[in-house]
Amino acid sequence: MAIPRILEPEVMDTIEDARDYDLMDHSHVNRLFVADLLAAGPLEGDVLDLGTGTALIPIELCGQCEDCRVMATDAAGSMLDLARYNIEVRSLTGRIQLALVDAKQLPYRDGQFAVVMSNSIVHHIPEPLAVLREAVRVTAPGGRLFFRDLFRPESRDALQGLVEQYAGGESAHGREMFAASLQAALTVDEVQQLVGKLGFSLDTVRATSDRHWTWSACKLV
């Protein structure tokens, strides 16, 4: 039995949140996310990133896949301000476009994107089914959905152990943000039940590390 879920703010939209998030070392996790995405199948067509934060994953993706184009979205203007800087200094403004968007109500047409990806948006959403449903809607038939996020630990001791192991070298605010994210995360079973409601097999969601689940699925129709 996992610890109770305690929600954190849906939108991290302070300058401090954006700055400290951008300063945290996400490099290994981001490289692994992109490598796993590319290993899941060919990437052909435009990519939508939900909850892009400061656009570190789209930047990593463009580094590993020279032909991709990404629509990188977030609901936090402060995150996108730093994302814009990160993109400009890497000369990727022609390949990564930014948009201030609520992932629960996407302004894109049905089937617009070949790939919809997201890293760590689900734990921010009180009722994540709305985000997953919108992601499915804007994915093209035959396109890929690739979501990854934290899962909620079974005990507070386990939570604290993960914070010390993976954020022990970060600022106090960075450690607090990571702990809050773990507390707000869903369990693997909870995510499986959500994708099942959308018509996907439960086994498309699985634990892929000691703290992450991944949902990787193709939209058939």
The SS3 of residue 106 is: coil
Q: What residue ranges in the chain does DSSP mark as E strands?
A: 47-50, 70-74, 96-100, 113-119, 139-150, 205-207, 212-218
Residues 202-214 pLDDT 10s: 999 999 999 999 9
Per-residue pLDDT at 175 exceeds 70: yes
Listed by start position, the domains of the chain span: 15-218
Q: Report percent pLDDT > 90 for the chain.
A: 85
pLDDT at 19: 79
Sign for the CA dihedral angle at 125, 80, 28, 67 comes to positive
- Work out the end-to-end distance of the chain between its first and last CA atoms, rounded to an integer number of angstroms: 36
Distance CA 118, CA 50 (A): 5
Sign for the CA dihedral angle at 188, 29, 209, 39 comes to positive
**Taking the complete model, does pTM exceed 0.85, yes or no?**
yes
Residues 75-96 pLDDT 10s: 999 999 999 999 999 999 999 9
Residues 110-155 pLDDT 10s: 999 999 999 999 999 999 999 999 999 999 999 999 999 999 999 9
CATH superfamily, domain 15-218, is: Vaccinia Virus protein VP39 (3.40.50.150)
Nearest to 97 by CA among 107, 110, 109, 84: 84
| pLDDT bracket for residue 27 (50, 70, 90) | confident
pLDDT at 13: 63
Q: Greater confidence, 62 or 21?
A: 62
